Amino acid sequence: PRKSRRRKSLAIAYELGQGDGAEPPRAPWEPRDWREQLERIREMRRSRDAPVDEMGVQKCYDSSAPPQVMRYQVLLALMLSSQTKDQVTSAAMLRLRQRGLTVDSVLQMDEDTLGQIIYPVGFWRNKVKYIKQTTAILKQKYGGDIPSTVEELVQLPGVGPKMAHLAMHIAWDSVAGIAVDTHVHRISNRLKWVKKETKNPEETRVALEEWLPRELWKEINWLLVGFGQQTCLPVNPRCSQCLNQDICPAAKRL
């Protein structure tokens, strides 16, 4: 005997202005105007001439080095970059590379010498200790390579979530999450790309990952860092030069 087919009730999505005026089903939350804001930021970043473009971590390692050495150099550059301008990080990495920057060379170096080389990066004394501790762990636990997961990377002394996600992007070409630094944190709050104001970069990362399409996760750090260095400055942002002035909730309009 033939089974009777029970017709499933379908939720009908009306187009705006049709039917009973019902709104179409919406995706979970997303910020107003974000696609247009993103396109305009891409336009402002087309020249790729911000400090992050010329001296960022992706420019600090020896691309001709063996992959394992390259990955170690990426991690070290990230550790040095915390609360330090790209120009200072780049110069410190160049000095380190001139001495042959490998796990073994850093293990053989005494702390005073390492400190003299990386000075004047921010918190350089702490970073000397972290670099020595982390390098020893890499040698003992990972055969001189760096971990390939965010969970393992953030266990290393001196490595935070932003560094871990950037290490995944740059060293492993893997997107495990969004790398959020002070620029991404500040701009995401100014543009209202977070549902409610976030207090720190890690809160911002979680908030962004809830709605931002995954294919944009790798690009967003590079875009917003350069934009934050050149236009959306921490103090006295250059709103008059910003293409988003008319659709930015935080813009100072003349």
Per the residue annotation, which of 3, 8, 139, 162 is the catalytic one? 162
Distance CA 31, CA 231 (A): 21
248: nearest Cα among 194, 208, 198, 191: 191
123: nearest Cα among 170, 168, 88, 161: 88
196 among known catalytic residues: no
Distance CA 127, CA 71 (A): 18
Contact 231, 242 (CB under 8 A): yes
- Classified as helix, coil or strand, 190 is helix
Distance CA 174, CA 153 (A): 13
- Measured in degrees and rounded to the nearest 5, phi and psi for residue 171 equal -80, -40
Distance CA 41, CA 66 (A): 35
What is the DSSP code string of 35-80? HHHHHHHHHHTTT--SHHHHHSGGGTS-TTS-HHHHHHHHHHHHHH
Structure-block tokens of residue 79: 């550790």
- Measured in degrees and rounded to the nearest 5, phi and psi for residue 64 equal -95, -5
Positions annotated as catalytic residues are 162
